[in-house]
Amino acid sequence: MTVISTNRGHKISFKHPGYSDDFGQNIIFTLHAPDHPNGGLHYSTALLACAIVSGNAWYGYLTESRGGEILQPGWDGLLLGRSYYFYVPNDRHQGSETSSSSSSEAYRYPVCPSFEHWQFPHDNMPSWWPTTIVAEDLIEDSDPLAPPSASNLTAHILRRDRKCLVTGSKDYIERAHLCPRAELEWFLKNSMSQYNNLTLPGDYLVDDFSNAVALRPDLHRAFDDRKFVVIPKQSKWVIHFLESTNDLNRMYHNTNVPLSSGVSPLFMLVRFAWTMFPMIRPFLDVGLPRNLRLVVKRDDRNAEDVRTISGQELKDISAPGRARSTSPKKPKRKADSDANPADDLGYQCTKRRKFSTKSITRPRPSPPSVTEPVLLPQSSSSTLSDGSPTDFRTLKRRWLKAQRPSDPHIICCDYDAAEQADRLGLEGKCENGGAHLCLECLGAVYAEELPELPDKGLE
């Protein structure tokens, strides 16, 4: 087993040469350095992190000092220093060896401020990142698996991976997304569904099994807390801890991960980027102007723009990401004091309850009163004193109409997508308590399922 460092003080800082060294104001981010007993970091992992936050600048390079020689330790080499400069050639042409570090002032290249503004490099992948996965032989045995739950897709992933891919445990394993469900908007904007294996409804495109692996709950939590990533080292996929922990990094750093061929390595790159971006927040919050690479709306399309941003706008851009609702018209509800803060990082619901759009168990208000006692007659031809029919469907329709939202804009959910997701066995949204429809829209479903009836006596 490779000896690693568990010293929390072993860190490496990566600096932007276009800004001053004073007060550490040019430190883009700092990473834990666990790959050597005295503190060291895998070279291609460091280079990948620098390139991603610089807008996929794969042709950038590292130096030990400002204006120093380009480092080339080999893809699996180690960085043993305590700080490095990351340079990006000014002409931004891949393969250019023109060093801006030799000029009197280094190129102040723009950085991406957040995952939201990062573009997936569909046709510009880094040369050292695998585009396919060669599945290693998994040990097949007759040991029973834990009963699957939550959805058919989760059951498929548990059958495919058979165990936690890090620990080998078969107890209490869970489906862990690579691109989190909370990043559905980014997923759609970057056309990531082209790498899916299944055709799913719009709000569930991110649930494809190529975008998930099986993990034990504690490692799933650490994964969503951005403690580690899965990267290629020496032609194998391994766990790499970007931050120190009490025990997990000591136990599992550099552990081989036997990925299935059903997992997309492109989503592994997405996960790496998603994990990295919160680490550059100190660089943006220092209070100085920064050159940023942003994705903006322009002429009904998404476009890239480079701007110099300063002040409060920088802090707003660098604020931590939140779990975005997939129903943009849904009104904001009062925050639940018992809400799980993990939901903001794209966790699955701790208590997964599957709801059908045709069966709701939540309490319902009493039906509106009538002038006479309501009895369900044996014949549908009976009427109330006001002349309205008393068959069960009509009474149900009458009651539901009183419960439906008065504002049509509050009906925000897609009923067709919800029914399709229910047929596929997909779990609902955490913010809806596991249901496919929000609470405001649930009451409207029943009335639409009923046959068209005359409105006599219902107004």
pLDDT, tens digit, 9 for 90 and up, residues 356-414: 444 444 455 555 444 444 444 444 445 555 555 556 666 766 666 666 555 555 556 76
Structure tokens at 112: 């991406």
> Could you report the per-residue pLDDT of 10-45, keeping only the tens digit for each?
999 999 999 999 999 999 999 999 999 999 999 999
Confidence of residue 282 (pLDDT cuts 50, 70, 90): very high
Q: Which amino acid is at 46?
A: A
According to DSSP, the residues that pair with 61 across neighbouring strands are: 87
Q: In this prediction, what percent of the chain has a pLDDT beyond 70? A: 63
Instruction: Quickly count helices (H) and strands (E) in the chain.
Output: 11, 12
Dist. CA 99–CA 156, nearest whole Å = 50
Dist. CA 227–CA 242, nearest whole Å = 6
Dist. CA 362–CA 296, nearest whole Å = 42
> Could you report the per-residue pLDDT of 159-203, keeping only the tens digit for each?
888 899 999 999 989 999 999 999 999 999 999 999 998 888 888
Least confident of 185-199, 305-319, 443-457: 443-457
Q: What is the pLDDT of residue 83?
A: 97
C-beta atoms surrounding 294 within 10 Å: 17
- Res 81 pLDDT > 80: yes
Q: What is the pLDDT of residue 335?
A: 43
Dist. CA 335–CA 142, nearest whole Å = 47
> Could you report the per-residue pLDDT of 113-145, keeping only the tens digit for each?
999 999 999 999 999 999 888 765 444 444 444
CB 367 within 8 A of CB 399: yes
pTM of the model as a whole: 0.68
Give me the mean pLDDT over the 207-233 stretch: 95
**316 or 373: which leads in pLDDT:** 316
Taking all residues of the chain, what is their mean pLDDT, rounded to a whole number? Answer: 77
Residue indicated by tokens 């596991």: 434
- Res 82 pLDDT > 90: yes
CB 306 within 8 A of CB 110: yes
Intra-chain end-to-end CA distance of the chain, in Å: 76
CB 317 within 8 A of CB 114: yes
Dist. CA 169–CA 178, nearest whole Å = 20
Reference 206, options 271, 124, 133, 259; nearest CA is 271
